Chain A
Amino acid sequence: MKEAKTTSELKGDAVPRSGLKNDSRASINDVVITHEDIDRAHDREQVSKTRARRGFRPRLRLFWLLIGPGILVMLGENDGPSMLSYAATGARFGIGFFVPFIVLTFAMACVVQEMTVRLGAATHRGHAELIFDRFGPFWGWFSMIDLMIGNFLTLVTEFIAIRAGLGFFGVRPAVAVLGALVVLSVALMTHRYWTWERIILGAAMFNLVFVPVALLTHPHWGMVGRALVTWRPLPGGIPQETVLILLADIGATVTPWMLFFQQSAIADKGLTTRDIRMGRIDTVLGAALATVAALATMLATTPLFMHHMSTANFEAAEFAQALQPFIGHWGAALFALGIFEAGMVAAITISTSSAYAFGEVARRPHSLNLPFRQGRTFYLVLLVEAVAAAGLVLIPGIPLVYIVLLVNVIAVLAMPPALLFLYMLVNDREIMGVLVSPLWANVLALGVVIILIGAGLLFGISVIAPNALAIIGGR
């Protein structure tokens, strides 16, 4: 169409919208232009102009224009339950096996998310839409329902984190949760993908607040380095608790919503095949930042391990309170603030991934570039899901700890079926053309699937037949 409809073919100075009042579209010849197209085109104009220039500053500006979905998805996944998992890992095992293990899980996330970058840039379509189109409505709705259930449960845990984080400062649960809903709604009011992305990116950077907290604990850097190289000391046997933490740490980095969110965000941002390289850099940079934040959280709670403190039933605020004697009030406050931020950013990105997926499958407009009137379904799905999750957190007597546990485990279990769809789509020459996965990418993806299924089965054995773990070194 770019070739077929050049500017010389455009007739008249302006095309009134009044002709198509209901959906605010303007038509020229056979092409209908939407509000969403215009916003995206403006963004792409900037990219084209910047790309045409040479030198360091234009390169840097191009980087600034194109980054976003990768960093957002990686820091978004450093959410409430994830940070809680890392905190529990540090408090239970200290510095050792889990330091390189967390790095490995983020490497796995990079392998998976790189596929969504290629898929989104090559097809300009969201993940749910592609599954629906290529594999039919049956599998399309199946994967949609998986995502919706997983996302809803995860959203509940995000509001648990928000409540717990602000609870440290004496904020009442209802005020914390309602405040978070207001922030989420305000971010949507921009009606502009670009502005929304920049706001959330800025907020996501606060995930690194765990770095100063870790520094306050004066970590033994020699031990950290040794652990990274040798993967030791090992956890010691494979009791059920270790298996759970192992699974929770995997679930903290590789989850189905990430596939749906990054691909949809790439399509919404308007990235093309020329931007794949920058999309990869964006993803790796996001993974690196998220790894730093995750390891910092783990290191921050290591003093609890050193002092043999039992943290089995700790929630986020309790970690902050327990750390206070070691890092002072300000350190603990930063930790609590980090938990709040993790929950807040993830609540926004996860609810957005649900809204994208629903819009794609239900064939409704789905873009953050849409004004509310045009994207009613998109915004309503997003808000209704968030409000329902927030409401659940406020019900007295709900077993919140079990919901957190459930979410992390389900994320790992739901990943292999989601990865199979992704694997098949990214190897589909009909839609990917020359951008199909090379052999090395397929081998790595297969490795991730094997690790995920292995971890799931290990968890299954630990629950159904805990004694069987003794055979493989557990107790």
Chain B
Amino acid sequence: MEKQFDSAPGSEVSREELTAVMTSLEPDQIIFTKEQHHCPRRRLTRTEMLLFWALRIYLVFMVGVVVYQIWTGVR
């Protein structure tokens, strides 16, 4: 394994390290850029909202079923 894979940088960021970052990473891979630019929020359509809630209700109901099964099992 080459040295680059070994460890974290030392106490200073060298010119080579900065070059590596600028040339090897895509713009939106740099943490600073990611922190500055978040994906914009999208507006959910009524159908999407309905689906979200339907599946949420499904999950809550089914978890209730699991709890019921465990309760009867324990008894």
Task: Indicate if the CB atoms of B20 and A45 lie closer than 8 Å.
Answer: yes
Task: Indicate if the CB atoms of A371 and B27 lie closer than 8 Å.
Answer: no
Interface segment among A257-265, A297-305, A315-323, A459-467: the answer is A459-467
Task: Indicate if the CB atoms of B34 and A125 lie closer than 8 Å.
Answer: yes
Q: Given A420-B51, A460-B62, A133 and B39 touching (CB < 8 A)? A: yes
Residues of B within 8 A of A451 (CB): none
Task: Indicate if the CB atoms of A33 and B63 lie closer than 8 Å.
Answer: no
Residues of B within 8 A of A399 (CB): 74
Nearest residue, chain B, Cβ from A11:
B15
Residues of B within 8 A of A14 (CB): 12-15
Q: Using an 8 Å CB-CB cutoff, how does the interface string of B1-45 with A read, 1 for contact, 0 for none?
A: 010110111011111011111111111111111110011111010
Residues of B within 8 A of A409 (CB): 66
Task: Indicate if the CB atoms of A420 and B18 lie closer than 8 Å.
Answer: no
Residues of B within 8 A of A146 (CB): 59
Number of interface residues of A (CB under 8 A): 75
Task: Indicate if the CB atoms of A44 and B18 lie closer than 8 Å.
Answer: no
A405 within 8 A of B: yes
Nearest residue, chain A, Cβ from B72:
A463
A402 within 8 A of B: yes
Task: Indicate if the CB atoms of B56 and A17 lie closer than 8 Å.
Answer: no
Residues of A within 8 A of B38 (CB): 133
Residues of A within 8 A of B11 (CB): 17
Task: Indicate if the CB atoms of A37 and B31 lie closer than 8 Å.
Answer: yes
A6 to B19, CA, bound (A): 8
Give which listed residue, A35, A40, A136, A416, contacts B55 with CB less than 8 A. A416
Nearest residue, chain B, Cβ from A399:
B74
Task: Indicate if the CB atoms of B70 and A35 lie closer than 8 Å.
Answer: no
A309 within 8 A of B: no
Task: Indicate if the CB atoms of B18 and A15 lie closer than 8 Å.
Answer: yes
Shortest Cβ distance from B18 into chain A, in angstroms? Answer: 5
Shortest Cβ distance from B72 into chain A, in angstroms? Answer: 8
Which 4 interchain pairs have the tightest Cβ spacing? A1-B27, A26-B13, A44-B24, A42-B4
Interface residues of chain A, those whose CB is within 8 Å of chain B, are: 1-7, 10, 12-17, 26, 28, 31-46, 48, 123-125, 130, 133-136, 139, 142, 146, 191-192, 194-195, 270, 272, 363, 365, 369, 371, 399, 402, 405-406, 409-410, 413-414, 416-417, 420, 424, 428, 430-431, 453, 456, 459-460, 463-464
Q: Name 5 A/B residue pairs within 8 A (Cβ), A-sorted.
A: A28-B18, A32-B32, A192-B5, A416-B55, A430-B40
